[in-house]
Structure formats: C-alpha cells, structure tokens
Amino acid sequence: MMNRTLFIDPGRCIGCQACVAACRECDSHRGRTMIHLDYVDEGNSAAAMPTVCMHCEDPVAPCAQVCPADAIPVGPDGIVHTAAKERCIGCENCVHACPFGVPKLDLTEMLQYKCDMCYDRTSRGLSTMCATVCPTGAIFYGSYEELLADRPHSRASDLFGFSDSLVQTGCAMVVPAGRESVSVPGGYV
Amino acid sequence: MKRRARPQGWLSDVDPTASAIGSTAAVLLTAAIYAGSRGLRNFDAALIGYATATIFLAFGVTYRYVVWVQSPPTRRYLVKGWKAFLSWRNFRRFPTLVPKAVVSNLAFQTFIKERGMGRWAAHQALFWGVVGATLITFPLTFGWIHFRSAAGTESHYEMYIFGIKTVTFDALSWLGWLTFRGLDITAVLVIAGCAYFLWRRFRDREAMTGQHLAHDLMPLIALVAISVTGLLLTFSSALLKGRYYDFLALLHMGTVVLTLVFIPFGKFFHVIQRPASIGVQIYKRTSLEDKGPFHCKRCGAAFETQTYVEDLEETMSELGLGFEGWAEHCPRCKRVERGIAYRAHVKEGF
C-alpha cells in the first residue's frame, strides 16, 4: 500500500453520504461525485459501503491496461488518475474491467471520471475531501502507523481476492487484528 | 501476479515492426514529394526544413501508431471497428452512422460542448486554425502547390497543383487576399483558441490539477509561437518593408520544425488517436443489433452488449488479469457484492 493512503472501514459507515457531498465540491470535478456509497442490504440493514479507487498496484491499474487509448496515466507515486480528456474515446473498458466497480463514464462528454485520491489536495499534503468530512472515521486518510495509533485493535489489508487472482492495492480496507494476512474477498463471482 | 519487467537498454525498447512501417511511411512521403513537385522542379529549397521535419513526422507518427495498436485492447477495437465499418450489411442498416459520427465527433467535437461552451468554442478555433494551416502549408512545402505570376499582367497569379495549371486570380481580389492571407487567418484562430486554454491552465483548478509543463503547456506555447512568428512575417512585409524578414523566416521555421518533431511524443498525438472513437461507436452500435445487450449476472440490468463483454473478457485474459468473470457484473453489483462478502467474512454483521 502507499505511504499515506485511504483506509476504508465499512463497519463504521453510517451511510450519511457526507463523503459523496464533499467529493462533489472538489474543484477538479465540480458537481460530480467520484466516491460511491452503496447500501449493501437495502431495506433490511443500514449497512453501507463507501468505495473509492483502490489504486491497484499489482497488477498495475487494470483500468489503464484495458484502455485502448492509453488515456489513464499512473503516476510514479502510484496514483491512478482520471483518463486524459483529450484521449478518452468513451469505450467504457475501464468501467467494466475494474474489479471494484469504480470508474464512471459520461458518454455525452465522452469522459471517464474516477477517484484520483483528491490529487489536487493530497499532492500538497492535505487530506482527501471524503476523509475530512467522514463523521465516523469510516474513511481514514494517513499512514498505516497513524491508523494503528488511532485504532490499536484494527489492522489493514491491501490484498483482495477475485476468483483465483489476487489484487494488491495502494489503498486498504480496515480489518480486525489477526486478519491482516488474509486477503479481503472481492465478492462471490 | 508480478509486474512485467522492463527490457534493459534503449535499443531493446525499439520496436522493429514499427520501425519498418515508420520507415516505409517516410520513404513513401519522400517519393510523393519528389513526384508531386515534378522531380523537385517546383520544390522551394528555402522550405526544405519544413519538408524534412514532415518526413520525420511521418516516421514518428507511424512508429507510435503501430506501437499503440499492438496492445490487446487497441488491436481488438481496431480490428472490430474496421470490420464493422467495412461491412456492406452494416452500411445498409446504418447508412448515416459514420457520416454523423465523423461530423459530430471529429469535425465539430460536440462532446466538448458538454464540458463547457467556452472550451468548445476555443477548441473549434484551435482545430480549424490548425487544419487550415496544415492544408495550406504541407502542399506548399512539398512543392505540390506553387504560384507563378501570369505573363503580361501586373497583379495576376496562376496556381499550379502537382505542376498542373489550375486557376488564375488577381492578387488584389478577395480570392487573392484570402489565398495569400490564409495562414494569417488560421494564425489568429489558433492564437484565440490557445489564449483561452492558456488562461484556463493558469486559472481553472480543474485544469490545473495534475497538469504538466511538457504535456499540457508546451503544446499551447508551441502553437502560439508558430502563429505569432508567422504573423510577424506578414507584419514585416506589410509594414516594415521586409526588414528582419530573413531572421523572422528562420525563427518561424525553427518553431514549426520543433513542433512537428514533437507531435509523435506529446499531447498532439490525440489527433491521430481520436478517430478511434468512430470505430468504437460503430462497433458498439452494430454489436447491439447483432447479439443484443448483456445482462448483469446478479441484478439482470442491461449494460453494454454481449459482443462487448465477450471481447472485454478476451482482452482481460490476454493481459493476464485473471478476474474476467467480474466483467459480467455491473459496477454497482461488484461494489455491493464486495460489501456483502466483507460483512460476511471480514467484519461479521457490521
């Protein structure tokens, strides 16, 4: 995982949508939210799941690999950026190849949009918009050491299992202590 | 899964296929210049810098294009897009699909209008300025077009295309003015477009996020430099009686040559890539008719087409990603399923 990154803890999420609203305020994608907030068992439970771009490290950015226009740049710091506006041809490969379901596409603008970990803020040492406003700490921005200092009984995992494949990411999920060496399941496909 | 190791040394990075095809393109252009200028008889030696840079451009652009289309996703779209385009059956079913896409996506770039009217207007000025300048400059520097003063007249010129006499016009008429001021008009259009985008690059935080000097600012600066030095040539001949013209001509050629050589490596390459969006549009539209939409394996909602998902899975498999099956679920279901799995296996019942 990256040195300073996002840690997601769905167990703390109360589904308030503050992250969604804050993300929308960002200058780099005005009025459009990059974070997803899904209700896992709608109608039966309040459980909610915030999803940001996990900035896949290994394999490196599948979204960028399946892009036929080489439009998605991956920075030396591991940040997988939104597709370059002049290159995106609107094919949606990134949207459907991402195992986390992160990128969005606006076909009228022929533009892909995805979370770039608030690059305009984090590249200057600031926290992401979503982590800044999250009232419960379900989205935490910082180093792993800072997370452990804040939550001594928690650990984090940056390894996800999809079918028989493992995906290592730049962001991480908060897991209970003792479970950090096991991959987080990507779903039931 | 490990990342692919980069080959060592710059020579091992050279693609032999792309080099061969790029060299062929450069040789073909050279031959076309020779033939089109009637064995260099109509070739203006003073413009040799432009022609040489264009030959290098032909090599560079072709080289990069060949490297680009070799990646699994690009190759797949290239083959499928051309197949759909060249199909007579598709042409009969959707006769207006391609012309509409070309006019809307390539000529008028209506998708940029959705991003903002100012951006669209500026891009149109820039686009038509560059297209106009290219159509005027390239044939001139290749010796494909040249002008001669008409015998027995004071201000009449004859235009020759590939050595064949076409029209005779009065330099003082509106056609003459338009012909000899064509590059000035395109320069004004380019400067107007670039000025807007430069302003945006310094003032708009959306544009400023993640921008790079070489990738985002240099192309604009280069276009402004070409246009301004080009206009200075007119300024010199019209108002300074040709003073400093030779120096300005060299300066202008320097800016043009550097920009032409830069095209294959930088942002300008999107001009070559953009037509791929037409291929994608034809491919998606025709594959929807052929096999119908694809339905999410979990929620059943229709998204994309059967052919598209099959092709994407093949691309993912070719890239060795290993989770092709996930492409059969819509993005929301992927997220929800991950949430359900987290709730069941990581933090039970959160």
Mutate which: A25, A86, A102, vs B, most B CBs within 10 A = A86
Residue spans of the domains in chain B: they are: 13-70, 292-345
Determine the distance from the C-alpha atom of residue A169 to the mean position of all C-alpha atoms in its chain, rounded to a whole number.
Answer: 9
Q: Which residues in chain A have their CB less than 8 angstroms from residue B338's CB?
A: 49, 51, 100-101, 185-187
Q: Is residue B161 over pLDDT 60?
A: yes
Q: What percent of chain A has pLDDT over 90?
A: 83
Pick from B71, B111, B347: CB nearest A176: B347
Other CB atoms within 10 Å distance of the CB of residue B79: 14
pLDDT, residue B10, reads 55
**What sign does the dihedral B290-B294-B295-B297 (CA atoms) show?**
positive
Q: Which residues in chain A have their CB less than 8 angstroms from residue B304's CB?
A: 92, 96
Pull the structure tokens for residue B105.
Answer: 């996506």
**Concatenated DSSP letters for B37-96?**
TTTTTT--GGGHHHHHHHHHHHHHHHHHHHHHHTSHHHHHHHHHHHHHHH-HHHHHH-TT
Give the span between the Cα atoms of B286 and A118, in whole angstroms: 38
pLDDT tens-digit map of A59-87? 999 999 999 999 999 999 999 999 999 99
* Contact status, residue A189 vs residue B328, Cβ threshold 8 Å: yes
pLDDT tens-digit map of B53-109? 999 999 999 999 999 999 999 999 999 999 999 999 999 999 999 999 999 999 999
Pick from B73, B273, B334: CB nearest A187: B334
Give the span between the Cα atoms of B28 and B50, in whole angstroms: 17
Give the span between the Cα atoms of A1 and B104, in whole angstroms: 43
Q: Which residues in chain B have their CB less than 8 angstroms from residue A80's CB?
A: none
Pick from A51, A93, A108: CB nearest B111: A108
Give the span between the Cα atoms of B333 and A186, in whole angstroms: 11
Structure ipTM: 0.96
Place of tokens 């076309």: B32
Give the span between the Cα atoms of B118 and B120, in whole angstroms: 5
Strands A36-39 and B156-161 turn out to be unpaired
- Ordered by where they begin, the domains of chain A are 4-60+117-185 (3.30.70.20)
Alpha-carbon dihedral A31, B106, B265, A94, rounded to 10 degrees: 50
Pick from A48, A102, A165: CB nearest B323: A165
Give the span between the Cα atoms of B322 and A182, in whole angstroms: 19
Pick from A36, A38, A62: CB nearest B321: A62
Residues 6+ positions from B290 with CB-CB distance below 8 Å: B307
Q: Is residue B130 over pLDDT 60?
A: yes
pLDDT tens-digit map of A94-119? 999 999 999 999 999 999 999 999 99
Q: Is residue B288 over pLDDT 70?
A: yes
C-alpha distances (whole Å) from A92 to each of A86, A101, B241, B299 are 15, 12, 57, 19
Helix (H, G, I), strand (E, B) or coil at A85: coil
Structure confidence at residue B347 as a pLDDT band (50, 70, 90): confident
Structure confidence at residue A45 as a pLDDT band (50, 70, 90): confident
* Contact status, residue A86 vs residue A109, Cβ threshold 8 Å: no
Give the span between the Cα atoms of B188 and B191, in whole angstroms: 5
C-alpha distances (whole Å) from B57 to each of A171, B44, B162, B224, B257 are 41, 19, 22, 20, 9
Structure confidence at residue B152 as a pLDDT band (50, 70, 90): confident
CB contact under 8 A, A27 and B343: no
Helix (H) or strand (E) holding A37: strand A36-39
Q: What percent of chain B has pLDDT over 90?
A: 88
Q: Which residue of B has its CA nearest to A105?
A: B331
Q: Which residues in chain A have their CB less than 8 angstroms from residue B111's CB?
A: 90, 108-111
Q: Which residue of B has its CA nearest to A68?
A: B74
pLDDT, residue B4, reads 42
Q: Which residues in chain A have their CB less than 8 angstroms from residue B1's CB?
A: 58-59, 165-166
| Residue B151 main-chain phi, psi, to 5 deg | -60, 140
Q: Which residues in chain B have their CB less than 8 angstroms from residue A70's CB?
A: 68, 71, 74
Mutate which: B197, B321, B329, vs A, most A CBs within 10 A = B321
Kindly state the average pLDDT of the residues B218-242: 96
